[in-house]
Amino acid sequence: MRTVWTTDPGDDPRLLRMLPRIRADAVAGAVLGGAPVLVTAAGPHYDGDCPRAGEHDCAAPSVQVRDAATGEPVRTVPGVGGHLLATASVRGRPMAAVCDWDGAPLLVDLEAGAVAGRLPGHRSAVRALVAADLGSGPAVLTADGDGTVRTVHLETGEVRAFGTGRRLHALASVAIGGRPVAVAAGGAVELWSPDSGARIGALPVSAEVRKAASWPDGGAAVALLAADGGVEVRDAASGRRLARRPAGDLDVDGIAGVLTGDGRRLVAAADAEAVHLWDVGADRPAGPPLVGPTAWPALAGTGPGLLATASEEDEAIGVWRVDLGVPPRGGPGGTVRCIAVSPDGRVITGGADGTVASWRLEDGAPGPVLGVLPAPVRAVAAVPLGADTGVPAGAGTAVLAGGGDLLGRTDDRLHRWSGGGADRPVRTGHRGEVRIIATAVVGGRAVALTAGCDEALHITDPATGERIGGLPGRGRPDGVAVGALGGRPVAAVSRAFGRFRLWDLADRAPLPTPAADAMEALERVHALTRSGTGPAVLTVRGGTVRLRDLGAGAARLLGPEDGAEVTALAVHDAGDPRAAVARADGSIALFDLEAGAAAGAFGLPCPATALAWAPGGDLVAAYRRTLLRLGR
């Protein structure tokens, strides 16, 4: 297929280099042999959740040293690793302290590429770890789960420990009046002398602090990441707030302090898909977000104006020049999670940042933003409204959206826009989330089927918001597809650990099909379509896609069994039915459903997050913040 248009603006000019195929849970800068290097640490992870389990040893920890300019490997220390990492220079020799959440930290000699020993005195799990210059020499400060802060002097081996009396999540090292000070944070933020163990003050906070960071210039400024995702920067000497980045719509997971080439302080705040830069002095954003190898990244300032992002999910490291002036970039502002192609020639997208936006199908030009949900968008749909659906002609198209996140911002409303009007949401009662929206015409009336995190499957009039019924069943609906069978509207519904059912929507009665008994547990419905033998349902279970005949129940594989995880799927049912299947390896495979055979394949830079077919047979795909239209 050829690219008709794309919203991809190209590589960010701030991305100096990307180092691919690197597993890293933490990253730091160091100097080895007079040259700057990147030090990474990786801990073991569960292979059942890893999309690349066959490509590496998921249980193998490691520390790696790479040339910062070229990315070439310099040292590898196998059998040692984790999520916490700090580097220091001991008598000119680069060292790294590393540990996982449930172990005691080890000291690694980066020049020798070997473990130099354990940091002594640790009895419980380490929650935070930071390197510090105490004037008397380099040290590593650690915070244990029991509230103990330890100072380990790296030149003398001397250990000092003191109890804070609080559960700690974060630790940073600052300087007040030329003296080193440890910032210990959790439910409160307190200042302690790392040498004497004396409490010397506290900083005001309004919420529990999860992470803390300082800057390499040895000042008193400290950045504090609150549990709600907001970031405050305070002067540890006076307690005065220097800057505040509001929580926003996305969950910030990590922060780092970065100095620009001209000495300005920036806070780098990372979420699930990007790194947001905040200018402390101006108290405002410092350019658009960094998007690249930035999926839940670890962060580290590695020099003036330089930031390293290490994404274990992307298996890559990015090195960024953060003090370049870059204008806002085009395309969606957040990862696109769902797509619908409207009958009036628009592409409707729902983003992880809650935005419901529109794009011109003809050329990808941005249209108006329809609205912003208070939570990530999970489903969008476009419903034609007119005389054939019982709504006055000229009403145009209704756009529907649902979202929610039970672990963060909940939203159980079905959002509705039509005729360029404002959002007219209606409550669905889905207990915090609307995960699925499917539309049909029943008895000349447009309807929307919605499902969330409960067992309910509601039927709503999208024009009026009236709830007009539902489909019963046990187990949460995890797949809903609508179509026609014998000229009657039908719905195929799969439920998590429940039975698959085929429903006549006009009578709201179940229809018998052998596929109901043939379906496996956790096999999710994605589409009703046609195969070479008649009506069929397309299903996904993990990395397996099946085309199940509704008349006989027989199944045909589309692609490999237990292949890479399916990330998106779409079916084009007009004319020759076709399916597009996107997988975690970035591939998109096309299938002729009448023949049940492969009909082409192509690859994307990242796995597609959403797919939809246009009426003429072109495919609209999204990966992260990029949309593209592909034609034959």
Boundary of a domain, candidates 470, 505, 540? 470
The pLDDT of residue 154 is above 80: yes
Q: Are residues 366 and 492 in the same domain?
A: no
> CATH no. for residue 585?
2.130.10.10
Domain-embedded: residue 236: no
At residue 47, the 3 state secondary structure works out as helix
Domain-embedded: residue 590: yes
d(CA 356, CA 423): 11
Q: Are residues 450 and 345 in the same domain?
A: yes
Q: What percent of the chain has pLDDT over 90?
A: 78
Query: 140, 149 in Cβ contact below 8 A?
Result: no
For residue 499, count other CB atoms closer than 10 A to its CB: 14
Q: What is the mean pLDDT of the chain?
A: 92
What digits encode the pLDDT tens for the residues 267-289? 999 998 899 999 999 999 999 99
Q: Are residues 340 and 462 in the same domain?
A: yes
- In angstroms, what CA-CA distances link 272 with 58, 295, 361, 371, 403? 21, 5, 28, 22, 17
Domain that holds residue 584: 474-602
Please give the average per-residue pLDDT across 561-566, as a whole number: 93
Q: How confident is the model at residue 199 (pLDDT cuts 50, 70, 90)?
A: very high
Q: Are residues 463 and 442 in the same domain?
A: yes
Query: What residues pair up with 3 in beta bridges, in sequence order?
Result: 630
| pLDDT of the residue at 394 | 42
The pLDDT of residue 558 is above 50: yes
The pLDDT of residue 390 is above 80: no
Higher per-residue pLDDT: 393 or 592: 592
Q: Which of 133-137, 299-303, 595-599 has the highest mean pLDDT?
A: 299-303
At residue 388, the 3 state secondary structure works out as helix
At residue 516, the 3 state secondary structure works out as helix
**241-247 own/partner pairs: CB under 8 Å, 24+ apart:** 242/280, 242/281, 242/283, 243/267, 243/278, 243/279, 243/280, 243/281, 243/283, 244/283, 245/269, 245/276, 245/278
Q: Are residues 363 and 488 in the same domain?
A: no
The pLDDT of residue 250 is above 80: no
Q: Are residues 341 and 446 in the same domain?
A: yes
The pLDDT of residue 389 is above 50: no
Domain-embedded: residue 202: no
Burial letters 127-145, b for 16+ CB under 10 A, else e:
bbbbbbebeeebbbbbbbe
* Strand-strand pairing, 336-341 and 298-303: unpaired
Domain-embedded: residue 524: yes
Q: Are residues 431 and 521 in the same domain?
A: no
What digits encode the pLDDT tens for the residues 417-451? 998 889 999 999 998 999 999 999 999 899 999 99
Domain-embedded: residue 490: yes
Please give the average per-residue pLDDT across 503-527, as a whole number: 94
Q: Are residues 533 and 569 in the same domain?
A: yes
| pLDDT of the residue at 575 | 80
Q: How confident is the model at residue 10 (pLDDT cuts 50, 70, 90)?
A: confident
Boundary of a domain, candidates 415, 442, 470? 470
Domain-embedded: residue 591: yes
| pLDDT of the residue at 321 | 96
Domain-embedded: residue 121: no
d(CA 265, CA 134): 22
d(CA 396, CA 399): 10
Query: What residues pair up with 409 in beta bridges, in sequence order?
Result: none
What digits encode the pLDDT tens for the residues 27-40? 999 999 999 999 99
DSSP code of 515? H
d(CA 193, CA 182): 6
Q: Are residues 448 and 466 in the same domain?
A: yes
Boundary of a domain, candidates 415, 439, 470? 470
The pLDDT of residue 230 is above 50: yes
Q: How confident is the model at residue 314 (pLDDT cuts 50, 70, 90)?
A: confident
Work out how many domains the chain is built from and give that number: 2
| pLDDT of the residue at 332 | 86
| pLDDT of the residue at 44 | 84
Q: Are residues 396 and 443 in the same domain?
A: yes
Q: Are residues 590 and 521 in the same domain?
A: yes
The pLDDT of residue 120 is above 90: no
Q: Are residues 383 and 489 in the same domain?
A: no
| pLDDT of the residue at 49 | 63
Query: 117, 95 in Cβ contact below 8 A?
Result: no
Domain-embedded: residue 282: no
What digits encode the pLDDT tens for the residues 66-85? 999 999 999 999 999 999 99
| pLDDT of the residue at 103 | 74
